[in-house]
Amino acid sequence: MSHSGKAVLLASFMPFFRTRPMKTANIVVLVLLLAGCAETYGPAGTGRRMLLGGGYRDQQISKNAWKVEYSAAGYDFAYRNAVRRSAEIANREGFPFFTVFKSVLEGKMVGNYTSGGMYVGSTVYVTLMMTGFSQYEGRCYGDKINGTTMRCDLYNTDKVLKGQP
């Protein structure tokens, strides 16, 4: 949401704030809602994400595999950042290549409600299973997955971290 859009939204709520006895509480709620419009990348449960939800969680499941979850308001943002977190793990663990598989839970959407039962939006949970590879040939030959006719699905860790496809 643009700054001018936020100003118009805020101005439209001003009569509401003046007529309600809990002005401060209403302003705090509005600020939190507006802050939620600008999602940022990072671990779940820290900073603003602690209040608004969102962020990544990961868990190692074998020597070269991790479960990576990213929660956000939108699917594309969540998926892109789950892949980004996978690249960070691959880099940290010394894998120049990695692949991701969508979990059966991938794309799960959960409604968010206030303690009073008011619906305030939804959160998308993207869960990926990431596997690191030390060599391209460990998974692919040419542009195909070894032993198949399927296109190679490896990500180049460095390219992902630089924001390249």
d(CA 62, CA 155): 19
Q: What is the dihedral of CA 17, 20, 25, 27, to 10 degrees?
A: 0
pLDDT band, very low/low/confident/very high, at 113 (cuts 50, 70, 90): low
| 102 has pLDDT over 70 | yes
| 84 has pLDDT over 90 | yes
**Strand, helix or coil at 34?**
helix
Query: Who has greater pLDDT, 148 or 133?
Result: 133
Say if residues 71 and 123 touch (Cβ distance below 8 Å): yes
Residue range 84-100: mean pLDDT, rounded: 96
Q: What is the pLDDT of residues 42-73, one digit of tens each?
A: 888 765 554 556 889 999 999 999 999 998 88
Query: Who has greater pLDDT, 128 or 49?
Result: 128
d(CA 82, CA 57): 9
Say if residues 107 and 74 touch (Cβ distance below 8 Å): no
Please report how the helices 3-19 and 23-35 are oriented relative to each other, as an axis angle in degrees rounded to 10.
160
d(CA 39, CA 113): 19
